Amino acid sequence: MGNTFTANAASGGPGDLRLSNGGTDVFFDVLTLAGCHVAETPWQQNLVLLFADGHRYDRGFSGFDLGDIPWTADWPAERAFLLRVIDTALTRHGWHRLRYDPPYAAEYLARYRELVTAFMPAPAVAPKLGDWRLAPAPALLTRCPEHDLYQGEAGCRLCDPSLQPVD
Ligand SMILES: [Zn+2]
């Protein structure tokens, strides 16, 4: 079981990021910690919600292709934002809030950064993830008082005992 993160799924290239289920939880944890810190616009908030709710109801099936993201005509800035989230995560932003030590997270992030950098977005005509130019429901952006993360649909991921190691 695991999840694969791709750029142009048809390629099935060696650069794909393949993570175990546990590795996927870590990947989304560190991206959510970084993303909640830097997101400002509706598009950016929607992207971070994808991470905040990632691998919650769809364990083992939460990999996605970068082509599935609802890029708009403003894709250069949108891709730059995704890279900024990755770079912020690479500074270990918020990792002191994790109850575990993520020894492989930096490697996942570095490999994903390569994938994103090489990817050329195309504006989506009918994006299956919706129109990210529209602001998310305010309730989704309510922050966990303990971890300062978006609650999203599934609640703060760092408060979720099914994802986090218990003391
Ligand atoms: Zn929390």
Best CA proximity match to 144, nearest among 155, 133, 136, 128: 155
Q: C-alpha 28: how far from its chain's center?
A: 5
Q: Residue 60: pLDDT band by 50, 70, 90 thresholds?
A: confident
Beta-bridge partner residues of 19: 3
Q: Is residue 154 part of a domain?
A: yes
Q: Is residue 167 part of a domain?
A: no
Distance of alpha carbon 28 from alpha carbon 124, whole angstroms: 24
Which residues neighbour 123 within 8 Å (Cβ) at sequence distance 6 or greater? 71, 72, 73, 75
- Ligand 1 centroid–CA 122 distance in Å is 35
- Ligand 1 centroid–CA 158 distance in Å is 5
Residue 8 has a pLDDT of 79
- Ligand 1 centroid–CA 43 distance in Å is 23
Q: Is residue 127 part of a domain?
A: yes
- Ligand 1 centroid–CA 119 distance in Å is 32
- Ligand 1 centroid–CA 152 distance in Å is 11
Q: Which amino acid is at 28?
A: F
- Ligand 1 centroid–CA 149 distance in Å is 6
- Ligand 1 centroid–CA 61 distance in Å is 24
Q: Is residue 29 part of a domain?
A: yes
- Ligand 1 centroid–CA 68 distance in Å is 28
Q: What range does the domain containing 102 cover?
A: 3-159
Instruction: Phi first, then psi: give them for residue 18, nearest 5 degrees.
Output: -105, 120
CB 25 within 8 A of CB 2: no
Task: Please state, in angstroms and as integers, the Cα–Cα distance from residue 161 to each residue in 54, 90, 94, 138, 144, following that order.
Answer: 15, 25, 19, 24, 15
Residue 59 has a pLDDT of 87
Look at 83 and 166; give whichever has higher pLDDT.
83
- Ligand 1 centroid–CA 153 distance in Å is 13
Q: What is the mean pLDDT of the chain?
A: 93
Q: Is residue 146 part of a domain?
A: yes
Q: Is residue 155 part of a domain?
A: yes
Residue 167 has a pLDDT of 55
- Ligand 1 centroid–CA 148 distance in Å is 7
Q: Is residue 126 part of a domain?
A: yes
- Ligand 1 centroid–CA 58 distance in Å is 20
Best CA proximity match to 27, nearest among 94, 102, 77, 88: 102
Q: Residue 162: pLDDT band by 50, 70, 90 thresholds?
A: confident
Q: What is the total count of domains within the chain?
A: 1
Q: Is residue 164 part of a domain?
A: no
